[in-house]
């Protein structure tokens, strides 16, 4: 499998953690399970300094990272990229690869890659081998709370903005309502637009199979997480029942090994989520697995980060722009990818990862709670 490997040594001198109050969403967002709410999940960001004077930024860091990773890296020790990864892995291994502590490793990967790219005076995506400065995207949203007309209006707007693939939530307690909404959206956007729906693991196998059978005429691009994400034998059973609608899984998994099992069980669309991986190069390993197996590959997560790695994907390997959750945070960010006609274009005149939160704006609006400094042991 593909793995990043860099020999340059890294030593970290300090970190600054900015904690902020929740960023409000324009309206409450809810999936079929009642998840999410009225705030974006982001609660903090970080600046990580190396001893060469470079500064890496990450827009969505929480106190788990601060408490787990910083004490292990602010020691004055020097290691290569892979040596740091190996060292940190063994420190958190017993918490399991699905744990929040394990997810911190993928965030640390991204911070180190940011520093290495800055040292080469290269944009991060170019440092990682991208030959283009944009990523193709699909647009998702469609809260279960929207009225039918509001849902149709949103999906039609996404298409008018240039998106060829759109997605919304299903899994309400009334399956007839879900089917009616699919019918209305399909009629509005036409047959040439890819239409996907996301059930957020709401159903059991029998219910998912019934739903899939009732939606065959709508030519869905995929049905996302119709059952529990870890129910591997349930996925196999769906396929054995002749489940014709393509099924997508992945955002709940943190490591590439789980995606190998998904492929074996019959998942049609592999969907890792950028900010949730324990190794950031697993994105490329999963992309390559999908290509090898003839499966579709999509990448979820916050679009400001996802676009960096989406530059490494083919045109039919899409990143997700979940507008209701991502856009409110993007309004507090600087140097983020620019949305145009279903693509996100990255800045090319700034080394490393140029994206950072607009701390001045957060402070002006009373959202910045605290700033904490952490220094390396001498």
146, 257: one domain = yes
pLDDT at residue 227, as a whole number: 98
State mean pLDDT over 345-350. Answer: 96
pLDDT at residue 35, as a whole number: 81
Question: 153 lies in a domain?
Answer: yes
Residue that has been written with the tokens 């982001």 in this structure: 42
Band of pLDDT at residue 378, cut at 50, 70 and 90: low
Structure tokens, 292? 């090898």
Structure tokens, 120? 């080469």
Q: What is the distance between the alpha carbons of residues 287 and 154, in angstroms, rounded to a whole number?
A: 30
- pLDDT tens per residue across span 243-292: 889 999 999 999 999 999 999 999 999 999 999 999 999 999 999 999 99
pLDDT at residue 7, as a whole number: 92
53, 155: one domain = no
Question: 1 lies in a domain?
Answer: no
Question: 30 lies in a domain?
Answer: yes
73, 152: one domain = no
Residue 87: domain span: 9-126+355-375
Residues 206, 183: contact at Cβ < 8 Å? no
194, 333: one domain = yes
163, 244: one domain = yes
CATH of the domain at 48: 3.30.390.10
Question: 98 lies in a domain?
Answer: yes
- pLDDT tens per residue across span 291-308: 999 999 999 999 999 999
Question: 350 lies in a domain?
Answer: no
- Residues forming beta bridges with residue 320, ordered by sequence position: 138
Question: 339 lies in a domain?
Answer: yes
- pLDDT tens per residue across span 82-125: 999 999 999 999 999 999 999 999 999 999 999 999 999 999 99
Structure tokens, 198? 């996301």
Q: What is the mean pLDDT of the chain?
A: 96
340, 360: one domain = no
267, 370: one domain = no
- pLDDT tens per residue across span 132-170: 999 999 999 999 999 999 999 999 999 999 999 999 999
**For the chain, how many structural domains are there in total?**
2
Helix (H) or strand (E) holding 44, with range, is strand 44-50
Question: 154 lies in a domain?
Answer: yes
Band of pLDDT at residue 3, cut at 50, 70 and 90: confident
pLDDT at residue 36, as a whole number: 79
Structure tokens, 180? 């009616």
122, 138: one domain = no
CATH of the domain at 159: 3.20.20.120
Q: What is the distance between the alpha carbons of residues 127 and 301, in angstroms, rounded to a whole number?
A: 21
220, 331: one domain = yes
234, 97: one domain = no
- Residues forming beta bridges with residue 36, ordered by sequence position: 30
107, 175: one domain = no
Main-chain dihedrals φ then ψ at residue 296, nearest 5 degrees:
-85, 150
Structure tokens, 175? 């399956």
State mean pLDDT over 77-82. Answer: 97
118, 134: one domain = no
């Amino acid at each position: 499998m593909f793995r990043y490997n860099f020999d340059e040594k890294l030593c970290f001198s300090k970190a600054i953690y900015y904690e902020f109050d929740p960023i409000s969403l324009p309206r409450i967002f809810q999936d079929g399970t009642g998840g999410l709410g009225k705030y974006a999940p982001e609660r903090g960001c970080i600046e990580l300094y190396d001893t060469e004077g470079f500064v890496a930024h990450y827009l969505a860091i929480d106190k788990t990272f601060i408490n787990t990773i910083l004490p292990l890296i602010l020691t004055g020790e020097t290691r290569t990229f892979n040596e740091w990864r190996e060292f940190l892995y063994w420190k958190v291994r017993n918490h399991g690869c699905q744990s929040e502590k394990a997810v911190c490793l993928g965030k640390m990967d991204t911070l180190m890659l940011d520093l290495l790219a800055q040292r080469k005076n290269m944009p991060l995506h170019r440092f990682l081998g991208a030959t283009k400065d944009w990523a193709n995207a699909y647009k998702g949203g469609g809260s279960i709370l929207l009225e039918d007309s509001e849902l149709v209006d949103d999906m039609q707007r996404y298409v008018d903005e240039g998106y060829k693939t759109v997605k919304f939530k299903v899994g309400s307690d009334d399956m007839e309502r879900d089917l009616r909404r699919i019918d209305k959206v399909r009629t509005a956007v036409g047959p040439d637009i890819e239409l996907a729906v996301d059930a957020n693991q709401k159903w059991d196998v029998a219910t998912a199979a019934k739903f899939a059978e009732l939606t065959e005429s709508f030519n869905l691009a995929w049905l996302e997480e119709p059952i529990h994400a870890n129910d591997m034998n349930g996925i196999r059973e769906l396929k054995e029942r002749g489940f014709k609608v393509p099924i997508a899984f992945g955002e709940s998994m943190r490591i590439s090994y789980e995606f190998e099992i998904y492929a074996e069980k019959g998942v049609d669309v592999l969907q890792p989520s950028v900010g949730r991986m324990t190794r950031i190069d697993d994105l490329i390993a999963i992309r390559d697995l999908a290509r090898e197996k003839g499966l579709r590959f999509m990448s979820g997560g916050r679009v400001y980060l996802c676009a960096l790695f989406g530059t490494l994907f083919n045109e039919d390997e899409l990143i997700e722009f979940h507008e209701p959750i991502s856009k409110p945070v993007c309004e507090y960010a600087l140097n983020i990818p620019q949305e145009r006609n279903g693509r996100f274009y990255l800045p090319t005149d700034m080394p490393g990862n140029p994206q950072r939160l607009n701390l001045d704006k957060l402070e002006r609006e009373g959202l910045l709670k605290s700033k904490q400094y952490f220094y390396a042991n001498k």
